[in-house]
Chains A and B, each alone.
Chain A
Amino acid sequence: MDWTTLSALVVDGLAVGSIYALTAFGLTLVYGLLRVLHVAHAGVYAMGAYAGWLAFSAGGGLALALLAGAACAVGVGLFLERWFYRPLQGRPPLVPLIGSIGLFLAMGDLLRILFGPYQQGFPVLPPERVAGPITLPQLAVVGATAFLFLLVYGVVTRTPLGVGWKAIAQDAEMAAAVGIPLPRYTQAAFALASALAGAAGVFVGVYYNQIYPTMGAVPAYKALAVVVLGGLGSSWGTVVAGLLLGVVEAVAVAFLGTRFPPEGVAFVAMILVLLFRPQGLLATEPQG
């Protein structure tokens, strides 16, 4: 394999990995606060993509599409937190997990009923090359993701919100005892997680120029692998793992051919990490 092909694969992997990182980050954030695996997050992502597509088709530009996608996702995410996750706090983790999978299935199918089972064209940016093997959609997706994570980094490290999340993740009872309003902070986390997922949904439209009702299926399960690879509860580990998985997958598929299902790559990597580094790639403390 020559250098040009490899670099094209890496860039492609980074763009796909950006979408993984954006969706998986929310999953990690929610897991850190509530200790539930929020599978319906992938449904939020698909709904965001469709909202963005509607805004775009109605004549709005890319900015409006992103705004609509994120806004719709935030609305759905906040509703799920209030109606579903909050009342189920303290139940065995299996209960919200099963319900969450049910919600995810219902959301994907709702999109199919509303907009049809076929792919919807979402031609936001022309796929022309800007520099070397990099195309304009790739540059847009990776650049916008980097910008979003810079913002998130600011929120997490420089605001009371970030400090509160850290406190709740470490010990929710203690955090409540020192006066951190848990419901409000949890809502804020769901809002941020959903906004990123909605943006990721629109980025899928930017990158592949199409969206479809079951588009959430791949991130739904793959995001779980990304979350484990990064270390369950380690947000920045998740981001690194998402980008890494995108690149590894792109290269592995090029080597193994398309007959090997790409999900296999993610999950083989995950089993290896679970066996040899169960605390995740970046985390320093062992799981306890």
Chain B
Amino acid sequence: MYAVTVLTQLCIYAILTLSLNLVTGLAGQVSLGHAAFFGLGAYTVGVLTTRGFPFLTAWLLAAVVAAGWGLLLGSISLRLREDFLAIASIAFNFVVVAALLYLPYFGGAYGISGIPKPMGSVAFSVLVLATTLGVAWCHERLRRSDLGLAWMSLRESEAAAEALGVDVRRFKVTAFVLGTGLAGVAGGLYAAYIGVIRPEDFGFPLSVTLLAMVAVGGMGTMWGPLAGAFLLGGFAQAFAFVHNYQLVLYGLLLAVVMRYRPQGLLGRRPT
């Protein structure tokens, strides 16, 4: 049972890293606020299912709500250079968490509890696994599509892409909407699986972790984000025996991987 719980968590991480990879790995737009969209999805399912909506409706709306806010951040991103965008996404994350804490409707610091699961625990884990595989499949299809090529072209050089007639604005926003929508999907699954959500679960530290997973695994590939999610996600479990030194080791791992293998473990060396 413990193994199933861990695997389900890792799968949710995997959906998040794959969706972040669309935005950051393929389209090259650095986002340090991905956890906010995860949270928006989770809160949508939390609010709706505790008010009697069926899970599937709530889950669908979770994706729509997250994608809607993604559309907003994506439109803002058009005005910002990369470092500004990274900081703006951090700001977005902090503001979402602050709003969830402040508005009594969302339960403040206690969040929402008693979120019903639509099926048994094991069946739900199977749903999570199936969704992960589905997201990985979509990710692969997107990466090899014209859309994926357009994203990669604007990652390599926005000016060159624009000169070749790629509609930079449209593709940036598309990347944000798809990536954040999938983060909402992950959030919906997480809320129903865990049953209790609090604002602090979706804070900036999680955004850092997600981006670190993508970067350590290898940006822009399919196996990189998956490996990153399982490696860093499993890190806490694997290093439970050195509990006291976990965070130091984790921080050093990020620094050392970036220092000695900047393209990530499975990433290809830039030519």
Contacts and interface: CB of A to CB of B under 8 A. Distances in A.
Contacts of B208: 98, 101
Given A37-B86, A271-B88, A102 B94 contact: no
Contacts of B81: 287
A103 B94 contact: no
B90 A267 contact: yes
Contacts of B95: 264, 267-268, 271
Contacts of A113: 244-245, 248
A103 B80 contact: no
Interface stretch (B10-18, B131-139, B188-196, B251-259): B251-259
B84 A259 contact: no
Nearest to A220: B204
Q: How large is the interface on A (under 10, 10 to 19, 20 to 34, 35 or more residues)?
A: 35 or more
Contacts of B258: 88, 95-96, 98-99, 102
Interface in B112-139: none
Interface residues of B, number: 45
Contacts, number: 142
B259 A225 contact: no
A278 interface: yes
Contacts of A266: 94
A268 B90 CA distance: 11
A153 interface: no
Interface string A91-109: 1011111111111111111
B51 interface: no
A93 B85 CA distance: 12
B90 to A, nearest CB: 6
Contacts of B262: 88, 91, 95
A132 interface: no
A105 B251 contact: yes
B84 A274 contact: yes
Which 5 pairs show the lowest CB-CB distances between chains A and B? A102-B254, A106-B251, A264-B98, A99-B258, A105-B251
Interface of B: 24, 30, 76, 79-84, 86-88, 90-92, 94-95, 97-99, 101-102, 108, 204, 208, 211-212, 215-216, 219, 244-245, 247-255, 257-259, 262
6 contacts: A93-B30, A93-B86, A99-B257, A99-B258, A100-B255, A102-B252
Interface of A: 31, 35, 37, 83-84, 87-88, 91, 93-110, 113, 221, 224-225, 227-228, 232, 259-261, 263-264, 266-268, 270-271, 274-275, 278, 287
Given A98-B215, A103-B254, A261-B98, 12 more contacts: A37-B83, A88-B259, A101-B208, A101-B254, A103-B255, A105-B250, A221-B90, A224-B87, A228-B84, A228-B88, A267-B98, A278-B84
